[in-house]
Structure 1
Amino acid sequence: MELRQLMYFIEVAKHNSITKAAEHLHISQPALSKSIMSLENELGTNLMIRSNKTSHLTDAGNVVLEYAQKMTALVDEMQLTLSDLTNLSIGQLNIGLPPFIGSLFFPQVMAKFHRAYPNIKMDITEYGGARVVKSVEEGEFELGVAVLPLDEQIFNVYPIVEEEMKLIVHQSHPLATRQEVNIKDLKDEEFIFYHEEFALNEIIRNHFFIIAGFEPNILFKSSQWDLMSEMVAANLGLTILPQSICERLLAKDIEILSLKPTVMWRLAVITKKGRYLSNAGRTFIEFILNERL
């Protein structure tokens, strides 16, 4: 068994497609298929169910994927450690960012960081918040940015942002004349909400709506804050967005209201406890903690 085979297998599992994985890896589809089949033969079991367009993991495939991710993460960690010890290569950072967060705060931060440390390269991947957390835990990313709260027995947490969430309503809505709305008053409303892959979906639903005694009536789900606000402007429902996003809204015909109890949006840079953190990673964390986002 070769490490390359495991890396190829991880890529196929990520894309659920040998064709797409081959394109991403810049190798031919037959070569990738041969590598996966060789791995299956060596392990003596089928790792995926193949169809014309997709490939889905079997139960055995899920087990192999879990161990393959751990093994490749250890190799990455070894390379980082050796790089820092020998100082033979420039810095490299693999960062996971939720789209909401990346578009809000990080373009200017990344520009400042690059000017200060031009030899540190950054590989940024946008995932939903829940997937960022999982990927940091599994070792795909050295660090990520996530919404709190998180299990601090698993992660090192470096808080960077704390602000209020706001309720967005159409200007003709009966609530639009208020300055503050109690969450209990939203029981019969229809919502434009976050997809399940976003941490805010679970946090707002469980920590606020469920505690208030009801399930939110979700009409649409989206991963784009501008689309969510435009849907409210079209009078399709209500939504809840962070203060900093509200300040950037271009949609007309909406009102921005405070919530009671206050719903806070707290962001942090996270790393996995017990995993080696490179000089580049430590430098970035120190840099961003000194920035005012």
Structure 2
Amino acid sequence: MELRQLTYFMEVAKYKSITKAAEQLHISQPALSKSIKALEEELGTTLLIRTNKTSHITDAGNVVLEYARKMTGLVGEMKLTLSDLTNLLVGQLNIGLPPFIGSLFFPKVMAQFHHAYPNIKLDITEYGGARVVKSVEEEEFELGVAVLPVDEAIFNVYPIVEEEMLLLVPKNHPLANRKEVYIKDLKDEEFIFYHEEFALNKIIRNHFYITAGFEPKILFKSSQWDLMSEMVAANLGLSILPRSICNRLFAKDINIVSLKPTIMWRLAVITKKGRYISHAGRTFIDFIVKDKL
């Protein structure tokens, strides 16, 4: 068994497709299929159920996948540890980042970090907040930026942002001229909301239910804050966005109103407890936490 075979199998499991995995690995589809078949023969069990469009992981495949992640993770940690022993700040740092956060804060932060540490390459992948958390736990990323709360039994948490969420209302709406709106008064309103893969979806829905006993009526879902605000301006519903995003809005047909009780938006860098964090990773955490975004 070769480590490369396990890496290939992890990619197929990730994309649930030999074709997509082969594209990501930059190898031919027949070569990838041959490698997986050889792994199955060596282990004496079927790892994948292949169909025309997708590849489904078997129960045995899930066992192999769990060990493959541990083994490749240990190899990665070994390489990082050896690299750190050279005392050279070089290498690559894999970061998971929700799109909302990336567009708001990180272009400036990345530029400053690059100027300070030009030999560290930042490899950024944009996922929804919930998927970032899962990917850090599964060690796909060395670190991620997540919306709190997360399970602090699993993750180290380094807070970087805390601000309130605000209500976006069309200017012709009855609530538009209020300075603040109580959540209980929004029971009959329709909302432009975040997709389920975004942590804010669950956070806001839970907040509504806990404080007012209902969940918001969701008319449309989006992953783009500019589209969400434009839909509010078009009088399609209300929305709730962090203050930093609201400060960037230029729509003339929207009023921004405070919510009571306040919903806070808390961001943090997270790492998995027990995982070795490279010197480059620790340097990035110190850099971003020191100035706070």
What TM-score does the superposition give when structure 1 sets the normalisation length? Answer: 0.95
Tell me if the contact between 2:183 and 2:211 (Cα under 8 Å) persists in the aligned partners. no
Match of 1:201 in 2: 201
The alpha-carbon distance between structure 1 residues 87 and 292, as it changes in their structure 2 partners (threshold 3 A), is: closer
Does residue 1:57 correspond to 2:19, yes or no?
no
2: distance between equivalents of 1:185 and 1:71?
53
Tell me if the contact between 2:100 and 2:224 (Cα under 8 Å) persists in the aligned partners. yes
Tell me the alpha carbon deviations over residues 10-67 of structure 1, each in whole angstroms, 9 at most, x when there is no partner: 1112222111111111100100111112222223332223222222223332332222
The alpha-carbon distance between structure 1 residues 262 and 12, as it changes in their structure 2 partners (threshold 3 A), is: same
After TM superposition, the structure 1 stretch with the greater mean CA deviation from structure 2, 44-53 or 151-160, is: 44-53
Does residue 1:166 correspond to 2:156, yes or no?
no
2: distance between equivalents of 1:268 and 1:61?
33
Match of 1:12 in 2: 12
2: distance between equivalents of 1:49 and 1:255?
53
Match of 1:22 in 2: 22
Tell me if the contact between 1:98 and 1:127 (Cα under 8 Å) persists in the aligned partners. yes
How well do the aligned residues superpose, as a CA RMSD in angstroms? 1.5
The alpha-carbon distance between structure 1 residues 260 and 142, as it changes in their structure 2 partners (threshold 3 A), is: same
1: distance between equivalents of 2:252 and 2:35?
54
2: distance between equivalents of 1:183 and 1:132?
29
Alignment of 1:184-223 (within 5 A): 184-223=184-223
1: distance between equivalents of 2:289 and 2:134?
23
SS of equivalent residue, structure 2 residue 90: coil
1: distance between equivalents of 2:264 and 2:89?
41
Tell me the alpha carbon deviations over residues 215-245 of structure 1, each in whole angstroms, 9 at most, x when there is no partner: 2211111111111111111111111100001
The alpha-carbon distance between structure 1 residues 229 and 22, as it changes in their structure 2 partners (threshold 3 A), is: same
Tell me if the contact between 2:207 and 2:263 (Cα under 8 Å) persists in the aligned partners. no
- AA paired with 1:259? L
1: distance between equivalents of 2:189 and 2:59?
41
Does residue 1:113 correspond to 2:107, yes or no?
no
The alpha-carbon distance between structure 1 residues 168 and 279, as it changes in their structure 2 partners (threshold 3 A), is: same
After TM superposition, the structure 1 stretch with the greater mean CA deviation from structure 2, 74-83 or 53-62, is: 53-62
Tell me if the contact between 1:163 and 1:242 (Cα under 8 Å) persists in the aligned partners. yes
Question: Which ranges of 4 or more aligned residues in structure 1 deviate by more than 4 Å?
Answer: none
2: distance between equivalents of 1:89 and 1:160?
23
Match of 2:248 in 1: 248
- AA paired with 1:248? R
2: distance between equivalents of 1:186 and 1:56?
43
2: distance between equivalents of 1:208 and 1:149?
16
The alpha-carbon distance between structure 1 residues 110 and 89, as it changes in their structure 2 partners (threshold 3 A), is: closer
- AA paired with 2:203? I
Match of 2:97 in 1: 97
Match of 1:177 in 2: 177
Q: Which runs of 5+ in 1 are unaligned?
A: none
- AA paired with 1:223? S
2: distance between equivalents of 1:250 and 1:61?
51
Match of 1:261 in 2: 261
Tell me if the contact between 1:91 and 1:279 (Cα under 8 Å) persists in the aligned partners. no
Match of 1:137 in 2: 137
Q: CA deviation at 1:210?
A: 4.1
Aligned residues: 293
Q: Which runs of 5+ in 2 are unaligned?
A: none
2: distance between equivalents of 1:230 and 1:43?
54
Tell me if the contact between 2:113 and 2:284 (Cα under 8 Å) persists in the aligned partners. yes
1: distance between equivalents of 2:158 and 2:68?
29
SS of equivalent residue, structure 2 residue 175: helix
SS of equivalent residue, structure 1 residue 157: strand
After TM superposition, the structure 1 stretch with the greater mean CA deviation from structure 2, 80-89 or 187-196, is: 80-89
The alpha-carbon distance between structure 1 residues 290 and 49, as it changes in their structure 2 partners (threshold 3 A), is: same
